[in-house]
Amino acid sequence: MRMAEWHPIDKMERIDHEEASKRIDDILEKVNDSQGIIITRDGKDDFVICPYGWFEPDTKEEAAAWLKKEGEEGEKESTGESV
Q: Are 2 and 56 in contact (CB under 8 A)?
A: yes
Please report the pLDDT score of residue 78 as a whole number.
47
| Interacting residues of 77 by C-beta distance below 8 A, sequence separation 6+ | 83
Q: Are 79 and 69 in contact (CB under 8 A)?
A: no
Instruction: Print pLDDT tens along the chain (83 aa).
Output: 677 777 888 999 999 999 999 999 999 999 999 999 999 999 999 999 998 888 876 777 777 776 776 666 554 444 554 44
**C-alpha distances in angstroms, 60 versus 15, 25, 43, 56, 73?**
36, 34, 40, 10, 20
Hey, CA dihedral for 44, 47, 50, 56, is it positive or negative? positive
